Amino acid sequence: MQPRAVRSMEEFAALSGISRPTVSKYFNDPASVRPSTRERIETALERYDYRPNIYAINQNRKLTKNVGIVVPYLADPFFAEMARTVERRCIEAGYWPILFSSHGERDTERNILDTIARMKPAGVLMAPLGRASDRTAVERFCREVPTVVFDSHIEGVGEAFVGSDNFQSVPLMIDYLCATGMPPCWLEMQPVNPNANKRRDAYRTAMTARGHEPRILRVDGDDWDFERIGYEGGLRLLDAGLPDTDTVFCSNDRLAIGFLSACYERGLRVGRGGDLRVAGHDDHPFARYTCPPLTTVAQDYEAISLHAVRTLFSVITGKGPQVRKEILFGGRLVERASA
């Protein structure tokens, strides 16, 4: 027999013989009611088909259990993976994550922040657009809502920033490429966030420090369709001829994936002992499945997501940080067949 469907907490409380405030208290925190009462409620839950509207419960709290998660482009597997790990950690901590993607658009990001503010969240984990963000709107939001920024840094914004140490990860790849072949040129597109600028600066600094001339190539494109930009720009670069090197270090893996496709179309063999060596940055979830598999620098997804969530929860509970912190994690070299 199917359990009887119950539509409201008031109806469930009447059927279970327990006061509505006590039932509400249980759904907020099962450990907050006496064990005998908790057993009665859980027995009733097995008998009746009722699940509370957790979102509505949260909205009635003075401090909700809602946590906003904002990323610039959810179709990017990097941000999808980051969002997945952050969501999981929020749920494990008893919070209700609500995910938003700004689709690379300033107005959308601004509207998202307005929407989240009306939800009275406990806090927000935000990967902002960066250079395309409305800084005034982001700063205003962060003054009103506890916010930890990750991946894309905006100076002075949020309670803390958690991200990758580009000045560690980029030289790591340069050392490997120089030790195994010719020094690399740098392939980038129009920067869409501060990470791109930092990586270019890290490349230039590391090459100069090692006695090599930095050679920076930029392809056209300033949207989030990185693979297309890498492919179309790569075709033009290959047709025009690369500078005096057979090694290309792409600023991110998605750009590298497009460039690999351009190399294939032009009949070039990529990999050690081939016509070109190609490397990327991030360890994109698809990087191991390109042809050939992409040599890259892995960002520490787990450490970044864990530290971002822990930092936010410490802010929510009033335990810190008292002063804005910037926490950076180093990358890890991943050697594959492309370089």
> Mean pLDDT in each 10-residue stretch from start to end of the chain (339 residues)?
70 85 76 84 82 56 80 87 87 90 93 91 91 89 90 85 95 98 96 86 98 96 92 96 94 97 97 96 94 96 90 82 83 97
pTM of the model: 0.77
The domain ranges of the chain are 4-52, 66-164+301-330, 166-298
Alpha-carbon distance of 70 to 141, in angstroms, equals: 13
Cα of first residue to Cα of last residue in the chain, in angstroms, is 63
Q: How many CA atoms lie within 13 A of 10 on its CB side?
A: 0
Q: Are 225 and 170 in contact (CB under 8 A)?
A: no
Alpha-carbon distance of 291 to 271, in angstroms, equals: 10
3-state SS class at 182: coil
For residue 75, the model assigns a pLDDT of 85
The DSSP call for residue 101 is E
Q: Which fold has domain 4-52?
A: 434 Repressor (Amino-terminal Domain) (1.10.260)
Q: Are 95 and 126 in contact (CB under 8 A)?
A: no
Q: Is 166-298 the same fold as 4-52?
A: no
What is the number of other CB atoms lying within 10 angstroms of the CB of residue 70? Answer: 25
Q: What is the pLDDT of residues 253-304, one digit of tens each?
A: 999 999 999 999 999 999 999 999 999 999 998 999 999 999 999 999 889 9
For residue 249, the model assigns a pLDDT of 98
Question: Which tokens in the block code for residue 280?
Answer: 């990327």
Alpha-carbon distance of 200 to 83, in angstroms, equals: 26
Alpha-carbon distance of 143 to 1, in angstroms, equals: 53
Tokens 């991030």 label which residue? 282
Amino acid symbol at 16: S
What order do you get walking across the sheet with 185-189 strand by strand? 216-219, 185-189, 247-250, 277-279
For residue 59, the model assigns a pLDDT of 52
What kind and span of H or E run contains 117? helix 106-118
3-state SS class at 231: helix
The length of the chain is: 339
For residue 2, the model assigns a pLDDT of 57
166-298: CATH number: 3.40.50.2300
Sign, CA dihedral 173-175-178-179, equals: negative
The DSSP call for residue 276 is B
Sign, CA dihedral 258-204-217-271, equals: negative
What kind and span of H or E run contains 92? helix 77-92
The DSSP call for residue 131 is T
Q: Are 12 and 6 in contact (CB under 8 A)?
A: yes
3-state SS class at 178: helix
Taking domain 66-164+301-330, whether its CATH number is 2.40.50.140 is answered by no
Residues 6+ apart with CB under 8 A from 264: 270, 291
Alpha-carbon distance of 82 to 89, in angstroms, equals: 11
What is the number of other CB atoms lying within 10 angstroms of the CB of residue 270? Answer: 21
User: Which residue in 176, 179, 202, 200 sits closest to 188, CA to CA?
Assistant: 200
